[in-house]
Amino acid sequence: MIVTDAVRSYLDETRPEPDALLAEMRERGARDSVPILDAHAAVLLNVLARAVGARRIVEVGTAIGVSTLHLARALPDDGELVSFEIDRERHTQALSYFARARLSARIDLRLQDAAEGLTELEGPFDVAFLDGLKAEYADHLELIVPLMRPGGLVAVDNVLMSGAVAEGRPIDGWSGDRIATARAFNDHFLAHPQLDGLITPVGDGIALAVRR
């Protein structure tokens, strides 16, 4: 855990309960070992997307759609969210949830490798969220930054890896090589010449930056 047990418990008590659909999605994620976005981080993304007045969002790593749903709910009726997922089963499951949430019209869910799909997009986008393969974060970031409008928000999940990145040593299944790669990405993200950002201890660590 990144924060203390007492802080986590308090945050859980103060966070609004998810609606029935999101609760079902979270139960499925836990049951099927699907990596889904932390509940607090998901609410944070929704609030930030609304704060920047997002109309176009791009996401890498849909899974079954928990983060996608939070982001899509921040969009106006004519907004657009493009999300990339490479797992066919999860792609199908996400589409079903979006239909039930009546948000299919806002979400362009692509069964496609993000490195390929991002090169096909035209900006500008207001929000970008990276939550795909961690080893590919740096490559995806370089493809996404040119698509962002000035003042646009870039968010990246799992940048602290249960605290292993801060400690600089393998814990909880994160190998030394993966930790080193994550630390290198964080350094690159924070020093990026077109971004002003920081790392927050929300969820598993969310990096946030504004496009200059």
Amino acid at 181: T
Residue 177 lies in a domain: no
Q: What is the mean pLDDT of residues 62-78?
A: 97
Residue 13's domain spans which residues?
Answer: 5-159+188-211
Look up the pTM and report it. Answer: 0.94
Sequence-distant (≥ 6) Cβ neighbours of residue 122 within 8 angstroms: 147
**Residue 159 main-chain phi, psi, to 5 deg:** -85, -5
Residue 181 lies in a domain: no
- 87-145 pLDDT, tens digit per residue, is 999 999 999 999 999 999 999 999 999 999 999 999 999 999 999 999 999 999 999 99
Give the strand order in the sheet containing 125-130.
107-111, 80-85, 56-60, 125-130, 148-156, 206-211, 195-200
Question: Domains in the chain: how many in total?
Answer: 1
Residue 61 lies in a domain: yes
Residue 174 lies in a domain: no
Q: Which CATH number fits the domain that encloses residue 26?
A: 3.40.50.150
